[in-house]
Amino acid sequence: MVERDTLTIRQAAALLNVHPNTVRNRIKSGVYQAGKVITERGETYMIARSELARDLNTNKLPNASQSQSLPDVRETIQAMLEPFVRELGDVREELGRERERRERAEAELQALRQERESPVSDPGPGSARAPTNPDEGAHSEAQATESPQAQETTGSSERPWWRRIFGG
């Protein structure tokens, strides 16, 4: 073979407008006759231009059919992706709602921590205070239901908070 009448796989692929692996597969399947030569980069196949001449026109689609098939492919892909895009939008909205809920919860938690850590002023005898200890509320209710004589026997000289406010 004369060197100017032969092409490498890469050159043949560029001429045919196909991937180099397509040319390699055609050589392996016997569609093209090629000879191996040793180059500075190693072994490579050299293909005669005459082998490629018959495929030069068959590998190219006419421009009209390319332009017609391309929108069809785009429409098909868009139709396939539409449910996923819609679902992605729904997930983003839900994520935004969850983010808002988390931020509100963190703000409430921070406020509760600050309230807990801040020094609590002692409420005077005229102010109402909700019991912070669950047992404290139960104890006050138990004292309130006891008779005045029972309160005197327990040694509690202080009246329950609700009696101080509402009288009695």
Query: pLDDT for 79-126, tens place per residue?
Result: 888 888 899 999 999 999 999 999 999 999 999 999 888 876 555 555
Contacts of 12 (CB under 8 A, 6+ apart): 23, 32, 47, 52
Predicted confidence (pLDDT) per residue in 155-165, tens digit:
456 888 888 88
